[in-house]
Chains A and B, each alone.
Chain A
């Protein structure tokens, strides 16, 4: 609630995102609109995500899900975001060792900024979409081409297939 007031009164830095409850009746479900960061294949895109807050927020982090899902190594096929700042507890696998974790002093704003930088720089050590991780590692130009294509499709811009190399359908 407090965060909502802060976010709406201060806005987001550089207008990179907006976020707020979907309705005045339910403060546990938010929507965020995120701009694709510049100089990345996500540039020009506008992505909608649902934030779901648990009853014990901010002790536990909220969940974030892109709808429609995004093609990205750290986003599951269903759109759920996998990022260390939304994880709590100690990770025994040793991944994410040096990365920021959830605590009550994190905020929606900090998480969304982390997600934006994740869009620009995927973390291949803790991948969520394994096929996408593989593609990123083995054929980054093709990954970038597919992301750009997805961005256009989501914006409703017709994709000129003649210009692109033929894509194997998923």
Chain B
């Protein structure tokens, strides 16, 4: 099971949605996990989009799901406008914490261009759809640029609001508190370093979205229910027309959790986009 998660070479950076049953097969020797996955299925969480176990899985999952929420938004114009505005504000914030933004500009462009492509076709190309989005996130160059960029946004959020986060910033192994710039340099800024609660909190806050993480572990609670840990940033289930990002956590790894409602939404959205393509 762990070998499977850490078999990082074979796995694509991010996969198609796979039915929950595939994950269940991998946990066939662990009845508690199976019962909790059954519970998730009953609640409509029918599948997972799996990310490579390379230490960047949280950031990659979050970024993919965020762009996908924009793509699926009922009001795409609003969602894109809100997202671009957030990206622009946070981009300006990178310089405030002393980052050399010239180095990061290429990464910023990759993410912003992808969001813009939701409504504005690429030159000579088309608007973003589910398969182009997946393609972008499976190409290492673009995908890693985006991962690195959202890491920098996370880092800037932590560095800028040190008072707010100081109490939660601890060394992941020793659990001792540590200065935020040092923490960011060692556990946020570089690739391949896994995220913990404080990074998740900071990124969701910086991006102004609600984040919900389903914790799948072997502990059985009431009715085999899975706990969802919420990182809320106002606006109920969606902020600026962008629905909450929902991830699945298994010990040591993050994937994207897919709800049955998304299937209908994505077909509705592609129906909506047809008239503008015809114009």
A residues contacting B by CB (< 8 A) are 2-3, 6, 56, 58-60, 88-90, 98, 100-105, 107
Contact = CB atoms under 8 A, between A and B. Distances in A.
B198 interface: no
Interface of B: 55, 99-100, 102-105, 107, 140-141, 144-145, 148, 151-152, 182, 185-187, 189-193
A95 to B, nearest CB: 13
Given A56-B144, A88-B192, A105 B152 contact: yes
A3 to B, nearest CB: 7
Contacts of B185: 100-101, 103
A89 B190 contact: yes
Contacts of B103: 2-3, 58, 104-105, 107
Which of B152, B191, B193 has the most CB atoms of chain A within a 10 A radius of its CB? B191
Given A56-B144, A101-B185, A107 B100 contact: yes
Contact of B148 (A3, A59, A101): A59
Contacts of B100: 105, 107
Given A88-B190, A104-B189, A105-B189, A98 B182 contact: yes
A51 to B, nearest CB: 16
12 contacts: A3-B103, A6-B102, A59-B144, A59-B191, A89-B190, A90-B187, A100-B185, A102-B190, A104-B152, A104-B189, A105-B103, A105-B104
A65 B130 CA distance: 45
Instruction: Tell me which of A2, A60, A100, A105 has the highest count of chain B C-beta atoms within 10 A of its own C-beta.
Output: A105
A89 to B, nearest CB: 5
